[in-house]
Amino acid sequence: MEGVSRVRLFDGPLDLSWRHCATTSDFFADLFALPFQSSRNDYREVRHSIGYLVNELIENAVKFRAPGEIVIEASMDSEFFKLKVLNDVDGEDVSEFQRLLADITVGDPKDLLIQRIEANAANPDMAGSGLGLLTLMSDYGARMAWIFSTADESDRICLETYASIPISQTHN
């Protein structure tokens, strides 16, 4: 695949943590915002949007993954920044995540975001709120897709998360 940058986060003695999410998202944001450095505002806006998207999806992968690596692939054309995150998920976590996706993908993301914020305010212990994904769809115009398939181990599911955000709108 031409024009795709790929990073693998390996599970090891230090374990994958939030620190890896921020460092990796900063790397992708810096790399893909370079073409916009002639305009300070464009650069900052594109860097922020890419960084937020990458960080949110890697955090979800770290939070919900089964032990093993996480693969991040990114590319950009004149209109979109595209991201793919691959990780394995324990079979027991998949149905809960699929229920969340069913809830947050059936309606206007802006309305759903407000409903989720209100629900979280009423119940701060609410797990798996979907606020990050809804924010991406509502505020950043992210288009999202998920593919669940059987992994090598019987109790695991391979999760592929796809996202794209408009770049051309960001710097108009």
Determine the pLDDT at residue 49.
Answer: 96
Q: Choose among 61, 57, 44, 54: nearest CA to 75.
A: 54
Over its C-alpha atoms, the chain yields an Rg (Å, rounded) of 16
Q: Are 129 and 56 in contact (CB under 8 A)?
A: no
Determine the pLDDT at residue 31.
Answer: 95
**Least confident piece of the model among 20-24, 53-57, 75-79:** 20-24
pTM, full prediction: 0.88
Percent of the chain with pLDDT over 70: 91
- Please state the φ and ψ torsions of residue 4, each to the nearest 5 degrees: -105, 130
Per-residue confidence band for 14, with pLDDT thresholds at 50, 70 and 90: low
pLDDT in tens, 112-138: 999 888 888 888 776 667 899 999 999
Query: Side chain identity at 38, as an amino acid letter?
Result: S
Determine the pLDDT at residue 10.
Answer: 82
pLDDT in tens, 146-162: 999 987 767 889 999 99
Per-residue confidence band for 1, with pLDDT thresholds at 50, 70 and 90: very low
pLDDT in tens, 69-100: 899 999 999 899 999 999 999 888 888 889 88
Determine the pLDDT at residue 33.
Answer: 95
Return the exposure string of 91-124: e unless at least 16 CB atoms fall within 10 Å of the residue's CB, then b: eebeeebeeebebbbeeebeebbeebeeeeeeee
Domains defined along the chain, listed by start: 3-164 (3.30.565.10)
